[in-house]
Chains A and B, each alone.
Chain A
């Protein structure tokens, strides 16, 4: 019966929402977007030097950039 399945769907939805609402909100400061954004930014800057696509590496060390050698068989 569709009304029964609607009922069980609604029940499931409410349970899910209750679960999400109860997920522990630790401290307000930890969940501020400015705080989260600052941490994302910090991660980017800390790892920027290792990012080959960002800063580029000397042509020798990027195996894709160096010209392929043709082996004469």
Chain B
């Protein structure tokens, strides 16, 4: 009886081993089949994306009948420009990385590598407030539309809002509010039309819209394949869109409500360091490490002008338009500022003064002057 049991146990073992082996073989075959299917789907998707891309190019090419500077041939050329440094703001202990104007056309906030954020009165060059951030490389700062707060951030991966108080002795750091949280450095931030919402872009490849009061994420924007370095909101008349530029050489236009990327432009040959809307909101300019600035028209859906010269080989760190959009100012890594005639595509003027690369450039809200910040620790107001 026991012998029979032992035999049957052995038999069962052998059968179970055979079943296990058979199951392994079947599994392997299923995995093999799904891999083959995966590769097929990948190939299919690749060809589909190629055909879509070429279709888009075809559509764009159909509409390219003439260049911007050809249309602008009849426009009067610009005369000589006399723009000089009118104020020099000294006080930062290290490279100035970012600056922003207040809507009162007089105050400026600037941030630097040593973690300091300073609010200046540009007329008198006095410092009104100073905050020390807990991190270095504060790469982004922005003034609130009301003029009552500033936002800043950098290597701490956060964007913090500091309400500015009239009391000079009050410790601003105490009232700090952390609004945005990214998983990599904060590269740019901007308040929307009110003090209540902030738009941020980060080295983690995303942009995000936050509610200041609650710190809640309202919308996130995915689509860049690498760090996003800059953003700009459309002028309020033209609606809820913004443009962002990144290390993937792409400039994307986003719808703020849906989070969708509605247009994308990829003609630069290197990282896009700065994007700025044309004052009418129908176009935007970008500055890149490839030493060119380019103008993209949103309705024509293509690049319409390139601002470059063979003698300019250093990258552009920041760009901004004059009030009418006729002039484009570019801050370059070769310490100069080049002023371009937007319509004709020619350089109108070159400005010297900074002793290290120009890292940030903004025209004042009423267009009477523009301010540049540089790695030489100073800010200069030009008019």
A51 in contact with B35 given A13-B49, A14-B49 (CB within 8 Å): no
- Residue contact A33 to B72, C-beta cutoff 8 Å: no
B-side interface residues, number (CB < 8 Å): 66
- Residue contact A54 to B63, C-beta cutoff 8 Å: no
From DSSP, what is the main secondary structure of chain A's interface residues? Answer: helix
- Residue contact B381 to A64, C-beta cutoff 8 Å: yes
| Residues of chain A lying within 8 A (CB to CB) of residue B262 | 19-20, 23
- Residue contact B75 to A45, C-beta cutoff 8 Å: yes
Interface pick from B94-102, B136-144, B236-244, B278-286: B278-286
* Partner of B342 from A14, A23, A44, A50 at Cβ < 8 Å: A44
* Partner of A64 from B72, B297, B327, B383 at Cβ < 8 Å: B383
| Residues of chain B lying within 8 A (CB to CB) of residue A18 | 52
Binary B-proximity of A21-57 (CB < 8 A = 1, otherwise 0):
1010100101111111111110111111011111011
* Partner of A63 from B45, B123, B363 at Cβ < 8 Å: B123
- Residue contact A65 to B367, C-beta cutoff 8 Å: no
A44 in contact with B300 given A34-B65, A34-B66, A64-B87 (CB within 8 Å): no
- Residue contact A53 to B327, C-beta cutoff 8 Å: yes
Q: Does B38 sit at the interface, judged by CB under 8 A?
A: yes
- Residue contact B366 to A37, C-beta cutoff 8 Å: no
Interface pick from B153-161, B183-191, B201-209, B317-325: B317-325
| Residues of chain A lying within 8 A (CB to CB) of residue B39 | 3
A37 in contact with B297 given A54-B326, A65-B383 (CB within 8 Å): yes
- Residue contact A65 to B86, C-beta cutoff 8 Å: yes
| Residues of chain B lying within 8 A (CB to CB) of residue A47 | 279, 323-325
Q: How far is the CA of A28 from the CA of B63 in the complex (A)?
A: 7
A19 in contact with B260 given A34-B66, A39-B282, A40-B343 (CB within 8 Å): yes
Q: Does B254 sit at the interface, judged by CB under 8 A?
A: no
- Residue contact A40 to B283, C-beta cutoff 8 Å: yes
| Residues of chain B lying within 8 A (CB to CB) of residue A28 | 62-63
- Residue contact A32 to B63, C-beta cutoff 8 Å: yes
- Residue contact B368 to A57, C-beta cutoff 8 Å: yes
Binary A-proximity of B287-309 (CB < 8 A = 1, otherwise 0):
00000000001011110100000
| Residues of chain B lying within 8 A (CB to CB) of residue A20 | 56, 262-264
- Residue contact B369 to A7, C-beta cutoff 8 Å: no
Q: How far is the CA of A10 from the CA of B278 in the complex (A)?
A: 33
Binary A-proximity of B259-285 (CB < 8 A = 1, otherwise 0):
011111000000000000011101100
Q: How far is the CA of A4 from the CA of B263 in the complex (A)?
A: 27
- Name which of B87, B262, B299 has the most chain A CB atoms within 10 A of its CB: B299
| Residues of chain B lying within 8 A (CB to CB) of residue A21 | 52, 55-56, 59
- Residue contact B260 to A31, C-beta cutoff 8 Å: no
A53 in contact with B323 given A7-B41, A16-B223, A28-B63 (CB within 8 Å): yes
Binary A-proximity of B27-65 (CB < 8 A = 1, otherwise 0):
000000001001101100110110011011001001111
A51 in contact with B71 given A13-B49, A37-B297, A64-B381 (CB within 8 Å): no
| Residues of chain A lying within 8 A (CB to CB) of residue B366 | 52
Give the distance to chain A from B245, nearest Cβ to Cβ, in Å.
17
- Name which of B52, B67, B262, B302 has the most chain A CB atoms within 10 A of its CB: B52
- Residue contact A6 to B326, C-beta cutoff 8 Å: no
Q: How far is the CA of A7 from the CA of B64 in the complex (A)?
A: 34
- Residue contact A68 to B124, C-beta cutoff 8 Å: yes
- Residue contact A33 to B325, C-beta cutoff 8 Å: no
- Residue contact A7 to B282, C-beta cutoff 8 Å: no
* Partner of B66 from A31, A37, A50 at Cβ < 8 Å: A37
- Closest B residue to A3 using CB positions: B38
| Residues of chain A lying within 8 A (CB to CB) of residue B68 | 33, 37, 40
- Apart from A52-B368, A54-B78, what 14 extra A-B contacts exist at CB < 8 Å? A3-B39, A4-B38, A14-B48, A23-B262, A33-B64, A33-B302, A35-B299, A36-B299, A40-B283, A40-B342, A51-B324, A53-B322, A54-B326, A64-B369
Between A and B, 13 residue pairs with Cβ closer than 8 Å are A7-B41, A10-B46, A14-B49, A17-B53, A21-B59, A28-B62, A33-B64, A36-B299, A47-B323, A53-B322, A53-B367, A53-B368, A54-B326
